[in-house]
């Protein structure tokens, strides 16, 4: 790997994480200016960029065909990734700050390790066990971090981490990684739309709750997540590998935290900050543990 390739990969990974972090702020602004709820915000975020994704897919010549196995896998990925995860994140913003939500969401690396241990009989390493304990400690600290820490908001934010961990496990086990990243992103967006629409209708939503002043924030959120972050990340992985890309992903909750305090004026107590740091250290430990060579 030459230096230029490595520098480009590091830059792409860092920018992807930063844009993901900024998207949490634009999503909050969309919620404030457009009204609606977490379901409609997630729905319109994805709908606003779907035509652009379709054009990109067509121009790049990837086509839209899928095998039956790929269709089923992408259906579950869309439900858990672009659908359930986004919806839970945006609902959590109504209860707790964006920064705290993202710190809690980042329990997902530890949850992935736990899922593999429970469902695929993969033994937890000492590092993974320590990371799980740190994540639990961080959650406990944040639950008693002052008025900011709404139990409902904490529960919903944690569920977003569960949903995203499920999405990652399905992606890993489904065998669709050979598909182009744009194609995965397109169907993730498309199937999440169907899931969000059906789920919203079951709850009685009409999807007319979003007002026009917030549409620009909805589009920017979709653009940053689907067309920027989801495109830069696989390109970074090609250049510097998944582990280093994941380490730089820690910039996402840090960006969200800083921007939520500076731009949104959201409160963040010293105790909830300490809990968030414990969760982020947990995520970093899980990621750094992957750097160690596996025993044959």
Q: What pLDDT was estimated at residue 242?
A: 60
Lowest-confidence pick of 46-50, 179-183, 212-216: 212-216
Is residue 209 very low, low, confident or very high in pLDDT (cuts 50, 70, 90)?
Answer: low
Q: Which residue has the higher pLDDT, 219 or 231?
A: 219
The yes-or-no verdict on residue 291 having pLDDT over 60 is no
Are 252 and 18 within 8 A, CB to CB?
yes
Q: What is the mean pLDDT of residues 174-191?
A: 82
Q: What is the mean pLDDT of residues 65-94?
A: 90
Q: Which residue has the higher pLDDT, 208 or 9?
A: 9
Is residue 212 very low, low, confident or very high in pLDDT (cuts 50, 70, 90)?
Answer: low
Buried b (16+ CB within 10 A) or exposed e, 145-175: beebbbeebbebbbbbbbbbbbbbbbbeeee
* Per-residue CA distances from 129 to 219, 244, 248 (Å): 40, 21, 22
Q: What pLDDT was estimated at residue 293?
A: 41
The yes-or-no verdict on residue 227 having pLDDT over 70 is yes
Q: What pLDDT was estimated at residue 199?
A: 92
- Unique residue bearing structure tokens 């669709």: 176
**Residue range 250-277, pLDDT digits in tens:** 888 888 888 888 888 887 777 777 888 8
Q: What pLDDT was estimated at residue 270?
A: 78
Output the average pLDDT for the chain: 82
Show me where the domains of the chain are located: 3-289
Alpha-carbon span 240 to 149, nearest angstrom: 37
């Amino acid at each position: 790997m030459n230096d230029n390739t490595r520098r480009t990969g590091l830059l792409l990974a860092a920018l992807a994480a930063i844009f993901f972090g900024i998207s949490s702020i634009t999503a909050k602004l969309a919620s404030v200016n457009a009204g609606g709820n977490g379901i409609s915000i997630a729905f319109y975020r994805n709908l606003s960029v779907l035509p652009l994704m379709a054009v990109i897919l067509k121009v790049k010549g990837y086509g839209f065909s899928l095998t039956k196995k790929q269709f089923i896998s992408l259906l579950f990925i869309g439900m858990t990734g672009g659908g359930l995860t986004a919806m839970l994140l945006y609902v959590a913003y109504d209860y707790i700050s964006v920064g705290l939500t993202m710190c809690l969401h980042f329990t997902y690396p530890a949850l992935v390790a736990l899922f593999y241990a429970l469902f695929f009989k993969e033994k937890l390493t000492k590092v993974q066990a320590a990371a799980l304990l740190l994540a639990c400690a961080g959650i406990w600290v944040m639950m008693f971090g002052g008025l900011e820490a709404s139990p409902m908001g904490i529960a919903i934010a944690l569920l977003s981490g569960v949903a995203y961990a499920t999405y990652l496990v399905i992606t890993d086990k489904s065998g669709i990684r050979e598909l182009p990243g744009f194609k995965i992103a397109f169907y993730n967006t498309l199937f999440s739309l169907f899931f969000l629409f059906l789920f919203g209708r079951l709850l009685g939503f009409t999807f007319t709750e979003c007002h026009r002043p917030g549409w620009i924030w909805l589009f920017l959120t979709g653009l940053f997540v689907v067309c920027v972050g989801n495109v830069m990340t696989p390109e970074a992985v090609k250049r510097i590998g998944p582990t280093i890309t994941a380490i730089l992903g820690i910039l996402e909750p840090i960006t969200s935290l800083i921007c939520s305090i500076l731009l949104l004026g959201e409160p963040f107590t010293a105790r909830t900050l300490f809990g968030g740091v414990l969760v982020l250290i947990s995520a970093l430990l899980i990621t750094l543990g992957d750097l160690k060579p596996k025993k044959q």
